Amino acid sequence: MKLLITCFEWTAQILANELKILGYKPFDNFSTGMYVEWNEEDIRKLNLNSRIANKIFCEVDKLTVNNFDQLFDFVYGINWEKYIAKWYKIEVDANIFNSTIDSKKSTQSIVNKAILKKLVWDDKQRFSDPKFRPVNILAQIIENNCSIFVNTSGDSLHNRGYRVQTWDAPLKENLAASLLRLCNRHYKTPLLDPMCGSGTICIESAMIARNIAPWLKRHFAFESFADFNNDEFENMKKELKSKMFQWNYEIVWQDIDPKMIEIAEMNAKSAWVADTVKFECKDLFKTKQRNGFIVTNPPYGKRLKNYNLDWLYENLINLYKWNLGCFITSYENADKMIWYDFKIKNLNNNWEAVKLYLKK
């Protein structure tokens, strides 16, 4: 059996490198994920430790199916009581490639019907408690080979649980971690986010530097599995806490808005890193130049006029006299202002991740 680990499109290689560091051998990599072999401990380990993944699905069974009757019998035969309590709602998705079964909608319906019949026999009498989040099921049929996966994460793993408050369009936590990994920054090297917003980049940097696992304060779907061992889970969390570092790091976050600094401080306290970072309410263009990294998520233009963006990016790039860094942008003129050795464009979401080496 295998785990399916999903990620954002441009972060697949970063995720693969992370999995190797954690002791896994990813295989069958694709643009938004990959697989690893697994046992029960790996579900806990990866959900607790991955900074890059979106969700982690465990394969619960696999079989060759050629028609919907075979699909129904196959899904019905799975021990669903292990993964789904009778009062949990289920949501089914399907991915189908080059198979005799070629209807995604019908596949979802058949899988849903088979699970409900196995759990309660009569789905009309089934009560789904709205206070529990739905269990996500994925049916993947490739050349008639069907694998059934269950989401072990629940909410996306970018939701660390430390953000007490945010502002408009906050950067997802695993995207911030991906930018930091992309920079290949040594964590004793100073880091600045001159437009910190709610502080996600600096918090993720401090958590990585101090070896604070990204799970913090959240629930995982696997905690509701019938064979979940809470004692083993608590022991694993205690071990991770014991490996946290308490060194000093130069991590500075700035924002011109004192309200954003207040929000960032609250989030840093929630993430246990308020004593690791330095807060400055300061104009971006009054930043002193020094050696180090800049990693930031600058405005894209939705709330600024174009001429303001030209001025903003010209001054922002001048700050790269520090050394090197990364930022995410969809601002087209940035191409004319920078030299880079890495660039990936996601056409669907219209943003780019750029690793910068600027001419001094």
Task: Please name each of the domains of the chain with its CATH number.
Answer: 2-151 (3.30.2130.30), 173-210+246-357 (3.40.50.150)
What pLDDT, on a 0 to 100 scale, did the predictor assign at position 138? 97
What pLDDT, on a 0 to 100 scale, did the predictor assign at position 249? 82
- Other beta carbons within 10 Å of 355: 17
What pLDDT, on a 0 to 100 scale, did the predictor assign at position 348? 40
What pLDDT, on a 0 to 100 scale, did the predictor assign at position 328? 72
Is the distance from CB of 91 to CB of 135 less than 8 angstroms?
yes
Cα(11)–Cα(23) distance, integer angstroms: 19
CA atoms within a 13 Å half-sphere pointing along the CA-CB vector of 134: 9
Distance of CA 77 to the CA centre of its chain: 32
What pLDDT, on a 0 to 100 scale, did the predictor assign at position 245? 86
What pLDDT, on a 0 to 100 scale, did the predictor assign at position 337? 60
Distance of CA 251 to the CA centre of its chain: 22
What pLDDT, on a 0 to 100 scale, did the predictor assign at position 344? 42
Can you give the pLDDT of all 360 residues of the chain as single tens digits?
A: 899 999 998 899 999 999 999 999 999 999 899 999 988 889 999 999 999 999 999 999 999 999 999 999 999 999 999 998 777 789 999 999 999 999 999 999 999 999 988 987 555 555 555 666 789 999 999 999 999 999 999 999 999 989 887 766 678 999 999 988 887 777 778 888 888 888 899 999 999 999 999 986 788 999 988 889 999 999 999 999 999 887 778 888 888 888 888 999 999 999 999 989 888 888 877 776 566 788 888 766 555 444 467 777 776 666 655 555 677 766 666 666 654 444 444 434 444 444 443 333
Q: Which of 147, 140, 151, 3 is nearest to 61 (CA)?
A: 147
- Record the pTM: 0.85
Cα(343)–Cα(182) distance, integer angstroms: 11
Is the distance from CB of 152 to CB of 222 less than 8 angstroms?
yes
Is the distance from CB of 173 to CB of 233 less than 8 angstroms?
no
- Other beta carbons within 10 Å of 297: 22
Cα(165)–Cα(174) distance, integer angstroms: 17
* Residue 132 DSSP label: S
Go through 214-241 and write b for each residue having 16 or more CB atoms within 10 A of its CB, e for each that does not. bbeeeebbbebbeeeeeeebeebeeebe
Q: Is 153 helix (H, G, I), strand (E, B) or coil?
A: coil
Cross-strand pairs, 313: none
